[in-house]
Amino acid sequence: MLSCFRNKKYRRKEEGCFLKNGAGMLEQLIHSFYGNCNPIRMYSKEELKKATNDYCWDGMAHRDWNSRLYKGVHEDHGILVKKFEADSSSYMDPLELITNEAAIASNMSKHKNVLKLLGCCLECELPILVYEFPAKGNLSHHIYGDGQSLQWQIRLKIAIEVADAVAYLHYGMPKMIIHRDIKAGHIFLDQDYVAKLSEFRTPVPIPLGKTHVDVEVITGTHRCLPPEYAISGRTSEKSDVHSFGILLCVRRKEMG
């Protein structure tokens, strides 16, 4: 009887998380993209736990400031599972960041150079996002780590593809979106070394008729930030161009 009570209590908690997280995502979609998005799948918590072998440490593909990405297999297909962690030191609401990423990623998923969002799980305290599996891993692994060295032709192709994804973010969306954190760690590669831009938690939209926006919280990787943004919080598409230029310089340096 006690076990039955605990199971019911656990299910009620999952249902509460589902309603809260689902409402947050819907609100973000309406606010940012007038309710438009590409269809995504709903995964259960148990499905993702099984797919990642209970989030095995050996299966971790990448780690960021408050998220971990795990390799997984679901229905005989590779997936990349993004699990978030609450960050008490951050001024930003983690749920707001995740819903922002889901809203933007779902609208960007049709672009061939954006990591495709397959679905999400809303049964946890913080939603879990599920992406396509990038077989060649993260670009930073090839540049800074022990990944396979990339030939010049492949590096040039990656640069062009990332530029195309950023241009789409700026000019192909209902509103201009500024990524604010373009770097090697946010670019993945598929089996054919096709670049996939990712990480859409902190992008900001530029209001219609405006050329820039002033933000209160400055985010991004310090070495990639343009000075005017780092000092004043004013950002525009030029901020992304600056970060992209830093990425090119790093890649050129690594070529020797």
- Give the active site residues: 181
Strands 60-63 and 128-132: unpaired
Sheet architecture: strand order including 187-189: 137-138, 187-189, 195-197
In order of 71, 129, 233, 246, the CA distances from 68 in angstroms are 10, 11, 27, 25
User: Does residue 155 contact residue 187 with C-beta atoms inside 8 Å?
Assistant: no
Q: Which residues pair with 222 in a beta bridge?
A: none
**What is the rounded distance in angstroms from the CA atom of residue 169 to the CA atom of residue 26?**
21
**Would residue 115 be called left, alpha or beta, if left means φ above 0 and alpha means ψ between -120 and 50 degrees?**
beta
Give the ranges where the chain is alpha helix by DSSP (H): 2-33, 45-51, 94-108, 139-143, 152-171, 227-232, 237-255
**What is the rounded distance in angstroms from the CA atom of residue 195 to the CA atom of residue 161?**
6
